[in-house]
Chains A and B, each alone.
Chain A
Amino acid sequence: MGCLYSKNARNVPGYEEPTVLAAETPFTVDEVQALYELFKKISSSIIDDGLIHKEEFQLALFRNRNRRNLFADRVFDLFDLKRNGVIEFGEFVRSLGVFHPNAPMADKIAFAFRLYDLRHTGYIEREELKEMVLALLHESDLVLSDDVVEMIVDKTFKDADTKGDGRIDQEEWKEFVSRYPSLMKNMTLPYLKDITLAFPSFVLSSEVEDSE
């Protein structure tokens, strides 16, 4: 099984050696190999080509391949480091590495900033914040009047934009997050510490191979 993994996996476009990925991320080699099981499952759910397409990502997140969501789109775009419209295995592991419980908090804060910087200007602007609040309301059952939305956005913006220049920069974001640490809760996935238990099949087979 271990041999099958290594021979087949090497033929997959964008495949990278687990030892290389483990060296660059908080994951161990075994964990990278377990992540390959998860990657295989997601990347073969619609088109079995060893790449995660947007619809496959949506299917994995929402159990619905057609469910569009601004935030899922942003996560997909940030995972797609090469910006070629698909997530390769190496991109998947490197990006999930940020969500590892042992990843540096600075990386998590920076990732969230890029997530919310919708137009890639290097700042989170008021319009972007309002657009995200409206997107959240759209996906949920919450109904808030435009006045209330304006009030929430205004209040938050004034709180975060401490320099008062009408935009939130990375320094202000870091300071804001330190005051509201719950904002970083989504940026840590405890599952990643137990990934070899969740997807043990390769680890078991690789141990057999190692002992031979």
Chain B
Amino acid sequence: TTPLTMNAFELISTSQGLNLSSLFEK
């Protein structure tokens, strides 16, 4: 998937700031 085929929210959801799984990394 490239940014041009993604909708704006799909693009936004790739932000690292929304990836809370990194809170659990040791």
Q: Report chain B residues within 8 Å CB of A139.
A: 15-17
A132-B12, A180-B7 are known contacts. Are A69 and B23 too (CB-CB below 8 A)?
Answer: no
Q: Is the CB of B20 within 8 A of A129?
A: no
Residues of B within 8 A of A71 (CB): 12, 15-18
A116, B7: Cα distance in complex, Å: 14
With an 8 A cutoff between CB atoms, is A61 at the interface?
yes
Contact A136 B24, CB 8 Å, known A152-B3, A186-B18: no
- Asked if A132 and B8 make an inter-chain contact with CB atoms under 8 angstroms apart, the answer reads yes
Q: How many residues of B contact A (CB 8 A)?
A: 21
Contact status B17-A69, CB under 8 Å: yes
* Closest residue on chain A to residue B8 by CB atoms: A156
* Chain B residue contacts of A195, Cβ below 8 A: 24
Across the interface, do B8 and A129 meet the contact criterion of CB distance under 8 Å? Answer: yes
Inter-subunit contact A136/B7 (CB<8 Å): no
Which A51-70 residues sit within 8 Å CB-CB of chain B? Answer: 60-62, 69-70
The secondary structure that dominates the B interface is helix
Digit string of B1-16 for contact with A (CB within 8 Å is 1, else 0)?
0011011111111111
Tell me which of A70, A75, A136, A144 contacts B20 (CB under 8 A). Answer: A75
Within 8 A of B (CB), among A95-149: 96, 99, 115-116, 129, 132-133, 135-136, 139-140, 142, 144, 148
Residues A186 and B24 in contact in the complex (CB < 8 Å), given A155-B7, A156-B8: no
A125 CA / B9 CA spacing, docked (Å): 13
Tell me if B14 and A136 are in contact (CB < 8 A). yes
Residues of A near B11 (CB, < 8 A) are 133, 136, 152
A-B pairs with lowest CB-CB distance, top 7: A71-B17, A72-B17, A156-B8, A69-B17, A156-B7, A191-B24, A71-B15
